[in-house]
Amino acid sequence: MKTLILFPTLIAMSSLLSAPASAGISESVYGKMPDGREVKLYTLTNTSGMEAKVTEYGAILVSLKVPDKAGKVADVTHGYDTLEGWLGNSSYFGATVGRFGNRIANGKFTLDGKSYSLVTNNDPGGMPCSLHGGTEGFSKKLWKGEAVYTKGGDGVKLTYVSADGEEGYPGVLTVTVTYTLTNANDLVWEAEATTTAPTVINIVHHSYWNLSGDPATSINDHELTLFADQYLATNAGMIPTGEKAAVAGTPMDFTKATVIGERIAADYEALKFGGGYDHAWVLNGTAERALVKAARVRDPKTGRVMSLSTNQPAVQFYGGNFLDGTTTGKGGVKYQHRTALCLETENYPDAPNNPKAPTAVLRPGETYHHTMVHTFSAE
């Protein structure tokens, strides 16, 4: 596939066109970090009407424009218009989260007989935990971007080197995250990492989706399928208890396409602990390194569909329960309760403390590899 690198004048010209003339990558300066370091923004376009913007700050997906069934293109993600907005991102909109996405109980784990202590920055149900990598996780770091061209599509590869001891985690961790946009309307997110000492890892992509393209509307009308017969039961601190609970006959059953809001007010303990949907579902048939189906979401108003597959064992479906209208995002919209959802493929929450979970340990000589394929269509 021919790739066109757009230079500033061409970028200005292309923005006058209704659809991208060609697939390609453009690069611009997005702004500066508070310490003066320059931050780049990459724009990927494909030949099928999609556009993805990715920034070096937090390896964040800034926006994703997707056509609906009438061909109308709209951004389907929550976020901010400027780098300044993203610098204050406390909801992890679009972010790459690490080293350990999701929760670690009490911020403590033991590895090879040694105890590690992390800062606790979250306490659902009054039970402290380390959430999403700690006080300043990967979502707040400046990564180094470069354009990459593959057979699958054009992409941007971002690299970050996390120092030994950063946020309490052992080993120097070298991480790359690659976003690729294909002409078949796939947005592929891939994370790889290597370490100089044994450590634990769970790098997570945290985009907030509203497939209607109208971020003022609720996602409770979206239809969701989760390819999971079980979810991880948790305590009030949203830490898995070790029990894999069957979804059958409960409001957690999304094995068939179901409107998200249909059972959200049910008198069900898990929904009370999560303040709605905020749980890890165990994906059916996960085999290490093979991609399995994780989820399918459809907005009935616009017909937009997002199908997600992954090589990870679980998916956290978070229904935007903590959004409360206090965050002003793109276009000045105040993001209200449940106006977006996250589908975070990952290892089990608190895996380092759960001997029954798939291992979260990465050792020198091994490579961590996490793939997510988001495929967009409209019907």
Q: Which residues contact 265 (CB under 8 A, 6 or more apart)?
A: none
Give the amino acid at 341.
Answer: L
Name the minimum Å distance from CB 213 to ligand GLA: 22
One-character DSSP codes across 262-316? GGTTSS-HHHHHHTSSEEEEEPTT--TTS-EEEEEEE-TTT-EEEEEEESSSEEE
Specify whether the CB–CB gap between 321 and 276 falls below 8 A.
yes
Distance from C-alpha of 46 to C-alpha of 4, rounded to nearest angstrom: 11
Site string for ligand GLA, 79-118 (x = CB under 6 A): ------------xx--------------------------
Name the minimum Å distance from CB 211 to ligand GLA: 18
Q: Scanning residues 165 to 224, which ones bind ligand GLA (CB under 6 A)?
A: none
Rg (CA), the chain: 20
The DSSP element (H or E) to which 372 belongs, if any, is strand 368-378
344 is catalytic: yes
Query: Whose Cβ is closer to ligand GLA: residue 78's or residue 157's?
Result: 78
Q: Which residues contact 243 (CB under 8 A, 6 or more apart)?
A: 232, 233
Name the minimum Å distance from CB 344 to ligand GLA: 6
Query: Whose Cβ is closer to ligand GLA: residue 268's or residue 322's?
Result: 322
The CB density around residue 218, as the number of other CB atoms within 10 Å, is 17
Q: Tell me which residue has tokens 């611009």.
A: 28
316 near ligand GLA, rule: CB under 6 A: yes
Q: Which of 60, 342, 357, 372 binds ligand GLA (CB under 6 A)?
A: 342
Active-site hit among 27, 190, 223, 344: 344
Within its chain, how far is the Cα of 281 from the centroid? 15
Name the minimum Å distance from CB 339 to ligand GLA: 13
* E strand spans, 7-107: 24-32, 38-45, 51-55, 60-67, 73-75, 95-97, 103-105
Q: Which of 30, 57, 254, 318 binds ligand GLA (CB under 6 A)?
A: 318
Q: Which of 131, 224, 283, 378 binds ligand GLA (CB under 6 A)?
A: 131
Name the minimum Å distance from CB 274 to ligand GLA: 7
Query: Whose Cβ is closer to ligand GLA: residue 6's or residue 315's?
Result: 315
268 near ligand GLA, rule: CB under 6 A: no
Q: Which of 322, 358, 363, 375 binds ligand GLA (CB under 6 A)?
A: 322
Q: Tell me which residue has tokens 């992890």.
A: 92
> Residue length, the chain?
379
222 is catalytic: no
Distance from C-alpha of 5 to C-alpha of 44, rounded to nearest angstrom: 10
Name the minimum Å distance from CB 119 to ligand GLA: 15
Nearest to 143 by CA among 174, 100, 188, 102: 174
Q: Which of 223, 278, 299, 346 binds ligand GLA (CB under 6 A)?
A: 278
Which span (44-52, 76-84, 223-231, 316-324) binds ligand GLA, by CB under 6 A? 316-324
350 near ligand GLA, rule: CB under 6 A: no
Determine the size of the site formed for ligand GLA (CB under 6 A): 9
Active-site hit among 78, 132, 205, 206: 206
Identify any residues that bridge with 376 across adjacent strands, giving them in sequence order.
306
**Residues with a known catalytic role:** 206, 344
What does the binding site for ligand GLA look like in residue numbers (CB under 6 A)? 91-92, 131, 278, 316, 318, 322, 342, 344
